[in-house]
Amino acid sequence: MAKEQENNLKINNSEYGRSFYMPAVPGIEKLFTRGIPNGSAVIVEGGPGCGKTIFCLQACVHACEKGKKVLFMSFEEPENNLRSHLKMFNFDVEKFEKKGLLRLKRFNALDIARSVEALLSEAKKELLIDVQPILVPQDFEPDLIFIDSLTSISSAFSGESNRFRIYMEQLFRYLEANNITSFLIRETPHPTHIGTVVGGDDAAVSFLSDGIIVIYNVFYEDGERKRAIEVLKMRGEKINRKIVELQIIDGKGVVIYPDKPLKGKYVLT
């Protein structure tokens, strides 16, 4: 069978019973064939200030516009900061909050670490803990969850990386069992898959996830800085594997240029 036919067959098979979600970030559609399979857990990673939060907030509001219920869990910025970011890009946050479609909620990572500790002692250190009470507000059943960021949660478990891993395993299990599509932000000082050795918590999270989207801070030899994006992995979807330009535009938000692959002498940071 011709390679292309074979690939098409694989794609059609993977489509059975599955629907896809396309984050409404202009240009991203060309990096996918159909989108992100619903129920996937997707890591959005990148260095400081590359645009992870804005990318996710934008995806979040557009999902609400399509009638999805979305929970944005922030371990970093207070709710009001997130609202003002959204306003700067002309998104009507309050409208969706009033409709009950959008819940922006700030969490304290140390509280999560303490709750996990308490639950683990209660369960006599068994691996199974119920993450729901310490994760999702009980009166809200989201279709999508955004977590900003796994890195903040991880640092609250300082010195207890085993517990963080247990928590992550349970979190991924919870998301899967409830068919929740999720975007999990991870801050990386260096892109984890180029050159650097990935180990420990980062590797565990990478293997647990269904997809990885990387946003880069690009540094050019002539001193110019740009941003770029790549879909590195997406289980169950044929992706367009290339690194393309991304811009953050005032009044508009994140825009991806799928026909502008990076050129010249640059370093990805």
Q: Give the binding site for ligand ATP (CB under 6 A).
A: 46, 48-54, 76, 88, 187, 248, 250
Tell me the C-alpha distance between 57 and 82, whole Å. 8
Q: In the complex with ligand ATP, which residue's Cβ is closer, 40 or 53? A: 53
Do 148 and 187 touch, CB atoms closer than 8 A?
Answer: no
The residue assigned the tokens 């999702």 is 136
Rounded to the nearest whole angstrom, what is the least distance from the CB of residue 115 to Mg ion in the complex? 23
Residue nearest to ligand ATP (CB): 53
58 interacts with Mg ion by CB under 5 A = no
Rounded to the nearest whole angstrom, what is the least distance from the CB of residue 53 to ligand ATP in the complex? 3
Do 20 and 247 touch, CB atoms closer than 8 A?
Answer: no
Do 40 and 211 touch, CB atoms closer than 8 A?
Answer: yes
152 interacts with Mg ion by CB under 5 A = no
Rounded to the nearest whole angstrom, what is the least distance from the CB of residue 164 to Mg ion in the complex? 20
Helix residue spans in 144-216 (DSSP H): 150-156, 161-177, 200-208
Q: Which part of the chain contacts Mg ion (CB under 5 A), choosing from 45-53, 99-107, 161-169, 251-259?
A: 45-53
Cα-Cα-Cα-Cα dihedral sign, residues 106, 110, 113, 118 = negative
H helix or E strand, kind and range, residue 2: none
Q: Which does 133 bind (CB under 5 to 8 A by kind): Mg ion, ligand ATP, none?
A: none
Name which position in 53, 58, 154, 170 contacts Mg ion (CB under 5 A).
53
For Mg ion, the binding residues (CB under 5 A) are 53
